[in-house]
Amino acid sequence: MIKIRIKIYYKIFGYLNLILGVIFIIISPEIELMERIFGAISFNAAYHMLYLFYSTIYRSSYNTLMHNEFNKKVGGILTKGFAIFGMICSFFILFIFIFKSIELNEYSGFCAICVPIGLFLGAYSLWLDMNSK
């Protein structure tokens, strides 16, 4: 998968996340209106923050990584490990969201399903950046 496709998926899931946030505001009558609005905003913010955090790590640390041989090797290994950790955690968080929503019969929890997807897309973008150089 190339970086352009990741950005396309980021936009698609961003719109889906926005739609799910609006659905969350509408379908959760047991929660007060302001709490629903803040919940929808926090789902959207978490999606974008996790993607942007992971996808900009390589660009922001490039000069430090290329400073000397030790930084190239150790920093590259640690950054790749961080990308793998993010991808694994995204699957773990996705399963937790799904199983807890089903177990507790609170299907409004599915509205936050895009948050781990944003984490995965950002971590995979970091992985592609690290392997391209």
Instruction: Name residue, tokens 């690290």.
Output: 130
Question: What pTM did the predictor assign?
Answer: 0.89
The domain containing residue 123 runs over which residues?
Answer: 3-132
Rounded Cα–Cα distance for residues 118 and 13 (Å): 8
- Predicted local distance difference test score (pLDDT) of residue 47: 94
- Predicted local distance difference test score (pLDDT) of residue 85: 95
CB 116 within 8 A of CB 93: yes
Residue 123, number of CB atoms within 10 A of its CB: 25
Residue closest to 93 by CA, chosen among 117, 127, 122, 123? 117
- Predicted local distance difference test score (pLDDT) of residue 52: 93
Q: What is the pLDDT of residues 104-128, one digit of tens each?
A: 888 777 888 999 999 999 999 999 9
Q: What is the pLDDT of residues 42-100, one digit of tens each?
A: 999 999 999 999 999 888 877 777 777 887 788 888 889 999 999 999 999 999 989 98
How many structural domains are present in the chain? 1
